[in-house]
Amino acid sequence: MKETTSQEIQRVAVIGTGLMGHGIAQAFAVKGYEVNLLSRNKDSLKKAVQEIEWSLSKFVKKGTTSNGEAEAALSRIMTTTSYGEAVGDVDLALESVSESMELKRRVFSKIDEYAPSHAIIATNTSTLSVTEMGKATGRSERTVGMHWFIPPQLTQLIEVIRGKDTSNETLNAIMDVSRKLGKTPILCKKDARGFIVSRILVAVFNEAFWTYSRGEASMEEIDASVRYIGGFPMGWFELVDFVGVDVEYDVSKILHEAHGERYRPRLELTEPLVKEKRLGRKTGMGFYDWSKGRPSIPSELKGMYDVERSWAVATNEAAWMVLEDVAEPESIDLGMKLGTGWPSGPCEYADNKGLDGMLHKLEEAYSRYPIELYKPCPLLKDYVAKGWTGKKAGKGFHKYI
Ligand SMILES: NC(=O)c1ccc[n+]([C@@H]2O[C@H](COP(=O)([O-])OP(=O)(O)OC[C@H]3O[C@@H](n4cnc5c(N)ncnc54)[C@H](O)[C@@H]3O)[C@@H](O)[C@H]2O)c1
């Protein structure tokens, strides 16, 4: 069967209308795609449309979208509770239902049953195996990961994930559609847990958790250093609160299981909060008190934490991804800058600072605290041994001519 190209993708189905689903439907509709939006009941569909209307009105107020464009986008969204109606005439169906393999496999299989045979089936999963979902269909070569970032209407980045069976044509079609949506796609070449961005984030969260547990610095001291010295948009504890302590807790366990000891999480810190429903921003309390808005972290507390250690751990994880052929350094850098607002990508940062210095930082930490998190990746050691120490040498993660 002839594979679907991005030009042929005109009608799209979005399954699931939660936090992500309605925003994704809006992002497609704004760019001219016809969208069928499916939810289990009429009430959640009504709520989703109201949320889309509200979001579009914000764009109109800001002047980035005209009234006419907003109305046209809304008119392109059809809502339904029936799979036959939702996917019967689409070229691409994207599921964004709750994060459960059993549920997602069921949804994939339903889409497979009703969608035309040429249609691509994509998942917005953050942590689950795209390959395993694909196996619930009779077209695993036309299944793929299309991982959006929150809020999908605004965030520039999309991670495109190749499942074991995903065809090149499917991958290219989704990379292309992402560009047509005005986004920057990065390719995750393997269906590896955490894909690119979450994997690096959880590594630096773990580093902060270990540092705090060893009594080296307080939570506020770590966050103040990360923000005011490192130039990151949020401190690590603040960011865990922002994404949800429960989300970090679940993802960190999945990464530990998938990638081993390097990802041993400090559940002693997060589990009690999850049990007490102190989940961060969404419940008003997490590591910090969010009841009066974003926590204030005094800049005077900066300097007690060595932010270079966050960079070293991020660099190390980037090296593992390159070694395992999960991602190219360019994708890793773009992912961290566009997906999380980092001031630099870890590969370009390490190249600028010198890979020898980064390696030294890791070795120093590893000899003081012999946990796998700090154990230098063989690729990093190899680069330094070859003299590929970054910008000054003309070659590191990137090439400099
Ligand atoms: N929230 C984020 O920051 C974020 C970012 C990227 C990706 N994701 C991923 O996106 C997906 C959705 O996450 P979310 O944050 O929107 O969750 P959410 O809880 O806001 O929404 C999940 C939606 O799934 C619906 N749903 C549950 N069972 C269903 C079924 N059987 N059929 C149809 N719909 C069903 C629910 O009604 C709900 O609307 C997850 O896979 C998540 O990992 C989330």
In a domain, 252, yes or no: yes
Q: What is the CA radius of gyration of the chain?
A: 22
Q: List pLDDT tens digits, range 258-279.
A: 999 999 999 999 999 999 999 9
* Amino acid occupying residue 207: E
Measure 125 CA to ligand 1 centroid, in angstroms.
9
Ligand 1, residue 99: give the atom nearest the CA.
41
* Whole-number Cα distances in Å, 253 to 147, 206, 248: 20, 11, 9
Task: Tell me the mean pLDDT in the region 232-239.
Answer: 97
Ligand 1, residue 20: give the atom nearest the CA.
16
- 37: which strand partners? 14, 79
In a domain, 401, yes or no: no
| CATH assignment at residue 285 | 1.10.1040.10
Residues 145 and 40 in one domain: yes
In a domain, 1, yes or no: no
Task: Tell me the mean pLDDT in the region 75-87.
Answer: 98
Identify the helix (H) or strand (E) that includes residue 34.
Answer: strand 34-38
Residues 294 and 209 in one domain: yes
Measure 21 CA to ligand 1 centroid, in angstroms.
7
Identify the helix (H) or strand (E) that includes residue 95.
Answer: strand 92-95
Ligand 1, residue 16: give the atom nearest the CA.
34
SS3 of 8, please? helix
pLDDT at 1 over 80: no
Neighbours of 100 (CB within 10 A): 12
What is the separation, in whole angstroms, between the first and last Cα of the chain?
Answer: 44
pTM assigned to the model:
0.95
List, in order, residues 6 or more apart from 9 with CB less than 8 Å away: 33, 91, 92, 120, 173, 177
Pocket residues for ligand 1 (CB within 6 Å)? 15-21, 39-40, 44, 96-99, 103, 124-126, 147-148, 150
Q: Let me know: does 379 contact 323? Beta carbons within 8 Å.
A: yes
With a pLDDT cut of 70, the percent of the chain lying above it is 100
Locate tokens 């007490």: which residue? 276
Residues 202 and 176 in one domain: no
Q: Please give the tally of structural domains in the chain.
A: 3
Residues 225 and 280 in one domain: yes
Residues 181 and 294 in one domain: no
Residues 40 and 176 in one domain: yes
In a domain, 135, yes or no: yes
Residues 297 and 383 in one domain: no
Q: Which of 39, 44, 98, 243 to mutate to test the pocket of ligand 1 (most atoms within 8 A of CB)?
A: 98
Q: Let me know: does 387 contact 393? Beta carbons within 8 Å.
A: yes
In a domain, 399, yes or no: no
Domain of 387, in residue numbers:
307-393
Q: Distance between CA atoms of 163 and 137, rounded to whole angstroms?
A: 13
**Atom 11 of ligand 1, residue of closest alpha carbon:** 96
**Atom 2 of ligand 1, residue of closest alpha carbon:** 150
Residues 180 and 229 in one domain: no
Residues 21 and 155 in one domain: yes
Residues 212 and 92 in one domain: no
Ligand 1, residue 126: give the atom nearest the CA.
43
In a domain, 243, yes or no: yes
Q: List pLDDT tens digits, range 119-175.
A: 999 999 999 999 999 999 999 999 999 999 999 999 999 999 999 999 999 999 999
Q: Which of 14, 80, 96, 114 to mutate to test the pocket of ligand 1 (most atoms within 8 A of CB)?
A: 96
Residues 366 and 297 in one domain: no
SS3 of 187, please? strand
